[in-house]
Amino acid sequence: MGGEPRRPLVAFEAEDLGYDNQVVLSRLALALYPGERVALLGPSGAGKSTLLEALRRRLGDSAAWCPQQHGLVPQLAVYHNIYMGRLAEHSALANLWNLVRPLAGPWRQVAELCDALGLAGLMRRPVGQLSGGQRQRVAIARALYQQQELFLGDEPVASIDPHQALRLLALIEARHATAVIALHYRELALSHFDRVWGLRDGQLVIDAPARDLTLADLDGLYPDADSSADEAIDRGQP
Ligand SMILES: Nc1ncnc2c1ncn2[C@@H]1O[C@H](COP(=O)(O)OP(=O)(O)OP(=O)(O)O)[C@@H](O)[C@H]1O
């Protein structure tokens, strides 16, 4: 009976998050527990990136990070962009050498990720020559390559079609015990996550287990809700 109370990995207790002259999320109170998969929803400008950045600052290097702007170097090959996920683990000399002649171990690991992400055959291609969806998958691969327990993703499947988005989310889930992922597919939020955080008008208005929520609850986050994208996913599923 009883046992140790669960300890959150990170918690905010009535904190204001924002920028110099603007509070974006006021009196934010939430906690992230080990093993939770959280979908972060809300209309554009609601503060999803602001919250993810704050989580990232708190969690530091223990979180794999897939940012919205990707932060890829267009002149460098896919392999090198993914390798950068763990740049800090190697000596400066090893990193320099790797630029000229890829190290065998990292090359194998990156190749395995590229296979899983549908990027096989593109490892030597400069990222600047890839499509938007391919770049997004390189950004996901770089975050997966960090091999952390926890994944923070700022719309990592935004420019990817819903069916592939499902596959990529499954890949992320399989490799991370805990995740917070901003996304726009409401149906996916309910079917593939444990918990939903919903932001609207500067507040966390939903913080609930996904099983307790309906699509209509999530529609309420969006001023001009349209579930057609989600319905498209429904129709496409076997
Ligand atoms: N670096 C910044 N400096 C000042 N204000 C910012 C900065 N980044 C974002 N904001 C503002 O903070 C608010 C929330 O932005 P944020 O990027 O967190 O929203 P979001 O929910 O991630 O939006 P989107 O879905 O469009 O990516 C917006 O009003 C935005 O203009």
- Per-residue model confidence as pLDDT tens digits over 147-166: 899 999 999 988 778 888 88
49 Cβ inside 6 Å of ligand 1: yes
For the cut 90, the answer to whether the pLDDT of residue 103 exceeds it is no
Residues 6+ away with beta carbon under 8 Å from 123: 77, 78, 79, 107, 110, 111, 114
For the cut 80, the answer to whether the pLDDT of residue 2 exceeds it is no
pLDDT at residue 95 in the model: 66
Higher-pLDDT residue of 85 and 31 is 31
Q: How many CB atoms are located within 10 Å of the residue 10 CB?
A: 18
- For the entire predicted model, the pTM comes to 0.86
Q: Distance from the CA of 12 to the center of ligand 1, in angstroms?
A: 19
Domains by residue range for the chain, with CATH: 10-236 (3.40.50.300)
What is this model's ipTM? Answer: 0.96
136 Cβ inside 6 Å of ligand 1: no
Ligand 1 atom with minimal separation from the 51 CA: 18
Q: What is the DSSP letter of 8?
A: P
d(Cα 90, Cα 216) in Å, to the nearest integer? 48
Q: Distance from the CA of 199 to the center of ligand 1, in angstroms?
A: 12
For the cut 80, the answer to whether the pLDDT of residue 93 exceeds it is no
- Average confidence score pLDDT of the chain: 87
For 212-221, letters b (16+ CB in 10 Å) and e give ebebebbeeb
Q: What is the pLDDT of residues 65-89, one digit of tens each?
A: 998 877 888 999 999 999 887 766 7
| Percent of the residues in the chain that have a pLDDT greater than 90, as a whole number | 64
Higher-pLDDT residue of 152 and 223 is 152
In which band, very low, low, confident or very high, does the pLDDT at 226 lie, cut at 50, 70 and 90? low
45 Cβ inside 6 Å of ligand 1: yes
Q: Distance from the CA of 48 to the center of ligand 1, in angstroms?
A: 8
d(Cα 119, Cα 74) in Å, to the nearest integer? 16
In which band, very low, low, confident or very high, does the pLDDT at 143 lie, cut at 50, 70 and 90? very high
pLDDT at residue 235 in the model: 41
